[in-house]
Structure 1
């Protein structure tokens, strides 16, 4: 029997069906859940491997297709210039209300899933890191893990490039863990400092980890991958999730 069982479900939103890929520990029983928000490329092979690894540690992992109202269900964007251009186009075309509705739909789905204990974390990388933080506003989220979240410091996510995620971060009640690459051009030193200052000013419960690494250092495909740091980050996340969800 496989250690991890993969499946998917198409959930109903006001903007059409949203495909959610599920990675479940094999066997019966309920598990704490992790909503895993992907990069701008959607559910690529590296994202699937990361989700399966996390599920193998005993978590029910669900990965929503972020651009479900724009692309056919199952669409995966390539790690090339065309894929990058399309992914960046869509992250600024999607309305903030749609991002937030997606959180509500997935959380509600998990709360009604007998294979979920009811304890839920949000986790994301790149665009997904920002979405994981934004998910933290939902009362059903018990922990947030954000790896190099983009557009958070600049408040430029969504249609109109004007989000309020950082502006109201002081209202998040759930603990958070952040990991950053110090050589990441998408989140410069000044941007990281602004985020850290906002977290400190609000006296939130959070962890902050910086590494000498580029953007997307967790992605096990391409020249920016740093396997040693990726292992450290996975260990940090697993310890954090165990503390907050179990």
Structure 2
């Protein structure tokens, strides 16, 4: 499916937020006609490095499967618009600093802004899912606390087990898992040092205790195996993930 890419800026409770928008090229648009509401949406939450080239390419793959994809700058309050951090120690240090600075409630209001924007699109079918990698996996999980999210695909979600992101008492994401009404898919790399086996076990037990509807996949992979740059990339597993995400979002 052909896609079209634009950059938009949304108004949020904490300031303007730039988003990458990638969506299928509706036949109605191509012919100059009014588009029909045929496409579900995916809120795609990135790594700490924001909208890098690998993230943009991944979003394009999802959009090409028939989804309107919105990729927000997850730390828009803390950086100039358009900031992309490097995959190096400097970028990692800045991204982690941003992660530990931004309150989870500000991510919640970002999600609300994207959900409201989708309602203005003639091409939007009304069904929204979330998807994310690394800290974005956590934020995709967090987005699913909103009942408007029907499904969430969370890849090697960091900081779920450790409760280390800024939040008020009782508002850490994992402890609120019982609020999730949609379906979760959690995918982990067994060789990922950021979410060790004991951390994954804690998450699994909490999801089971909370009565969540979820599927669980532990793969022989490292952290960031979806990123198509660097030695950790596993293209075969990445292809499998995209297929599983599509099945989840279309269910």
Q: Same fold (TM over 0.5)?
A: yes
Q: What CA RMSD, in Å, does the superposition of the two structures yield over aligned residues?
A: 1.6
1:101 equivalenced with 2:100 (yes/no):
no
Secondary structure of the corresponding residue to residue 200 of structure 1 = helix
Q: 202, 205, 212: which is aligned to 1:204?
A: 212
Secondary structure of the corresponding residue to residue 69 of structure 1 = helix
Secondary structure of the corresponding residue to residue 90 of structure 1 = helix
Give the C-alpha shift of residue 160 in structure 1.
Answer: 8.5
Q: 58, 63, 67: which is aligned to 1:59?
A: 67
Q: TM-score, normalised by structure 2?
A: 0.93
State the match for 2:18 in structure 1. 19
Secondary structure of the corresponding residue to residue 51 of structure 2 = coil
Runs of 4+ in 1 over 4 A off after TM superposition: 159-163
Q: 2: distance between equivalents of 1:216 and 1:126?
A: 7
Residues 45-54 or 26-35, more deviating: 26-35
Q: Map 1:200-239 onto structure 2 (within 5 A).
A: 200-239=208-247
Q: 1: distance between equivalents of 2:14 and 2:159?
A: 23
1:119 equivalenced with 2:118 (yes/no):
no
- The gaps in structure 1 that reach 5 residues or longer are none
State the match for 1:81 in structure 2. 89
**Contact 1:147-1:180 at 8 Å conserved across structures:** yes
- The gaps in structure 2 that reach 5 residues or longer are 29-35
Task: Render the CA deviation track for 1:58-78: whole Å, top value 9, x for unaligned.
Answer: 100000001111111111111
Residues 162-171 or 44-53, more deviating: 162-171
State the match for 2:152 in structure 1. 144
Q: 1: distance between equivalents of 2:98 and 2:176?
A: 24
**Contact 1:20-1:64 at 8 Å conserved across structures:** yes
**Contact 1:33-1:60 at 8 Å conserved across structures:** yes
